[in-house]
Amino acid sequence: MESGRFGPYRIEELIGRGGMGEVHRAYDTEHRRTVALKVLSAGAAGDDDFRERFRREAHAVARLSEPHVIPIHRYGEIDGRLFLDMRLVSGTDLAELLHARGALDPARAVAVVGQLARALDAAHAEGLVHRDVKPSNVLVTGDPGDEFVYLVDFGIAWSAADAQDRQLTQTGSAVGSFDYMAPERFMERPVDGRTDVYSLACVLFECLVGRRPFTGHDLATTMFAHLHTTPPPVSALRGGLPPGLDAVVARGLAKDPGQRWPTAGAMAAAARAALTSGGVVPQHEAATAPGPPPPAPQAIGMSGPGWGPATTGRRRWAPWAAGGAAAAAVAAVAVVVGVVATGGSADEPSASSSAPPTTSAAEAELRGVLPAAIDDCTSADPSSLGETARLDCGPGPQRPGPSSVQVSRFEDAGAADAAFLRMVDDQDLSPLSSSQSCPGSQGYYYWRDQQQQTAGRVACYATPRGQAVLFWTEADQRVLVVAGTDAGTGGQGLSDLTSWWSEESTRFG
């Protein structure tokens, strides 16, 4: 696969190769974007247990909306090979940085670890343990003092809910790097987030002093050191470090998980406090990627219309799929999202005049962009993580159409997409191919704006009671919309929902 094609991908360059597969720079001809394509080895694809674990974990990682985790666009199998399609990010891995420059400035080291802690805490909240936190799996972008850090390669991530861990070796390669591996991993005991805390403490140690906590020359000596040896205080290896960092690193490297920091974020916070107490000003830790907000999974290169107060302008939308139900469904959804984005008809009042005095700013903004065909809305309490406002609406004036619509605004695109993916996960919906779409099939897929940029995702399904549900995101706009019909409508209900979108499109002809 050094060059040529892999399904819809045009392979451009080999980025890296490991025991489980290869990572290529590739061009996705379906979605017109350059991506990082990880293709696993044929041997891994032939292991039924690995295949199921890969599918489950790839889906779980795709749900992570933390900006310091590189999003997965999609995953699956092509010609018997499992693959991950990820956002392509240019940068230098931390291992190369440490090799070239040695130990980092203390404030910079703590800032790097702080950003990694955000990624790990998000993964642990989803029940994922990374299990391979090490400098070579840390991607650093930007300039010193203002860099953005990504945690990469969840390829051996494991659910903390699983009772049994995998063996130390798998398909001939170590599952995790011994130099950063927690003691319980060598003893094949259950793992949880504190396992990653240990590895992160190893990374912090190396960033502060320029060497690993343990420097055994083979597996046996390295394993013994992790199990039985206490590493030296970091201040003994490098002068001028705030003394409080000794205790922070030592607790992170505790042999007993119960003696470690309970979370990665707790260790990072303690490290920042140690800097301050030692007279060092902590470095700013970027919480969002530089430039435009990082796109949510399966929504790269989005440039749809901006949300905001109601406007008098109209945006014309064009379908991106050709022929049959796919064109009708996607064009219809795009039109309705365009209606939402432009705030309905020019005669509608703005958010500031229509919202009641007690309405929050987020809800006022949401009311200001409601489409005309969705009305009779009442406030509802936000319930999803990152949700800032929600409106529950009754049936619109046009029939056929939904019997109820829920519109939610989120603090960022990632939170909106995470809510979308939770619904996908709850309903066990699968990605649809380019030849499938609602209402012909149940599942989820992309929709694009008239500039042919991926602007969000849409999904549909019918409940066991025959209720039809269509829901979609407009990721640039931070909104999730869920429309449903009454019970018993089933497939006809999905057709009715699609027809409703089509009716809306005539308003902008």
Specify binding-site residues. Answer: 38
Instruction: Answer yes or no: are the C-beta atoms of 7 and 78 closer than 8 Å.
Output: yes
Q: Is 132 known to be catalytic?
A: yes
Can you tell me the distance from the alpha carbon of 95 to that of 455, in angstroms, rounded to the nearest whole number? 35
Q: Which of 28, 121, 132, 496 is catalytic?
A: 132
Can you tell me the distance from the alpha carbon of 308 to that of 310, in angstroms, rounded to the nearest whole number? 7
Can you tell me the distance from the alpha carbon of 439 to that of 491, in angstroms, rounded to the nearest whole number? 7
Can you tell me the distance from the alpha carbon of 419 to that of 292, in angstroms, rounded to the nearest whole number? 21
Single out the residue of 482, 489, 475 nearest to residue 460, CA to CA: 482
Instruction: Calculate the alpha carbon distances from 425 to 60, 230, 313, 432 in Å.
Output: 9, 43, 37, 14
**Which of helix, strand or coil describes residue 267?**
helix
Instruction: Answer yes or no: are the C-beta atoms of 81 and 42 closer than 8 Å.
Output: yes
The beta-strand segments (E) located in 208-294 are: none
Instruction: Answer yes or no: are the C-beta atoms of 8 and 28 closer than 8 Å.
Output: yes
Binding residues for ATP: 38
H-type helices in 102-237, by residue range?
106-125, 183-186, 193-209, 219-228, 234-237
Can you tell me the distance from the alpha carbon of 298 to that of 74, in angstroms, rounded to the nearest whole number? 6
CB proximity list for 503: less than 8 A, separation 6 or greater: 398, 401
DSSP type of residue 492: H
Can you tell me the distance from the alpha carbon of 475 to that of 298, in angstroms, rounded to the nearest whole number? 10
Instruction: Answer yes or no: are the C-beta atoms of 378 and 437 closer than 8 Å.
Output: no
Can you tell me the distance from the alpha carbon of 56 to that of 59, in angstroms, rounded to the nearest whole number? 5
Phi, psi for residue 12 in degrees, rounded to 5: -110, -40
Residues identified as active-site: 132
